Amino acid sequence: MKSHEKNIDLQSKYSVTAFFYDLLDYPWERQYRQWRPALVGDLRGRVLEAGVGTGRNLEFYHQDVELLGIELSEHMLRKAERRKAKARCDVTLVQEDATVMSSIPSHQFDWVFSTFMCCVMPDDIQALALEQFSRVLKPGGRFRLLELVYSKNDKIRKKQQAFAPFVEKVYGARFDRHTLQHLERSAHLKVTHTSFLKDDTYLLIEGVRDS
């Protein structure tokens, strides 16, 4: 399947998932909500949020941010539009594919930020998105990505494996994507720090575009 077709597949998945996304995600969102303020709170300047979803991060951006949120699914984007009113900063939301970003000129952003988008993207598509992150970041611009990954702890991993078919069916997400490895192959994006927000399952990847 070509990358374009894979994205059409994801889009049609999210045209259904969007209607019950917030309800379905609620048990996890209770945890994510504790993390989101710190994840975006120190971002300043022009920020691109990729895979903005239903707009869960919008209310936590600092007022000195000028935010462009992009999202593949028009149905998810409609939900995010409703959350825009809660934001303290300027927010523009557009339907745009993170692997293409045809409407976005190069070297525009101080930050690229994303929560749980790369783990939704098939591996070969991820590399395309990372190329676009590199293109749209200013030299010296920074990125921060939060991803789901498999735990090395047997007990936790077994639980994740039990959930995996559901997570893939509903969100298109997998625990075994290779975001970090793709980043290591990137010509211009350099990972500067990785950490886990919980156990060894919620991986935060931070880095910089070289200047």
Ligand X SMILES: C[S@@+](CC[C@H](N)C(=O)[O-])C[C@H]1O[C@@H](n2cnc3c(N)ncnc32)[C@H](O)[C@@H]1O
Enumerate binding residues for ligand X (CB under 6 A). 7, 10, 14, 50-53, 56, 70-73, 76, 97-99, 115-117, 120-121, 171, 173
CB of 143 to ligand X, least distance (A): 14
Output 102 or 211, the one with its CB closest to ligand X.
Answer: 102
Closest residue to ligand X, judged by C-beta, is 53
Output 15 or 153, the one with its CB closest to ligand X.
Answer: 15
Output 71 or 203, the one with its CB closest to ligand X.
Answer: 71
CB of 73 to ligand X, least distance (A): 4
Pairing of strands 202-209, 189-196: antiparallel
CB of 206 to ligand X, least distance (A): 16
CB of 10 to ligand X, least distance (A): 5
Contact 181, 133 (CB under 8 A): no
Three-state SS string over 20-67 comes to: CHHHHHHHHHHHHHHHHHHHHCCCCEEEEEECCCCCCCHHHCCCCEEE
* Phi, psi for residue 182 in degrees, rounded to 5: -60, -40
Output 167 or 210, the one with its CB closest to ligand X.
Answer: 167
CB of 184 to ligand X, least distance (A): 21
- Residue 118 tokens, joined: 């790369």
Which burial class, exposed, middle or buried, applies to 53 when counting CB atoms under 10 A from its CB (0-12, 13-18, 19+)?
Answer: buried
CB of 151 to ligand X, least distance (A): 19
Contact 56, 40 (CB under 8 A): no
Which burial class, exposed, middle or buried, applies to 5 when counting CB atoms under 10 A from its CB (0-12, 13-18, 19+)?
Answer: exposed
- As a whole number of angstroms, the distance between CA 74 and CA 97 comes to 11
Output 104 or 210, the one with its CB closest to ligand X.
Answer: 104
Output 52 or 189, the one with its CB closest to ligand X.
Answer: 52
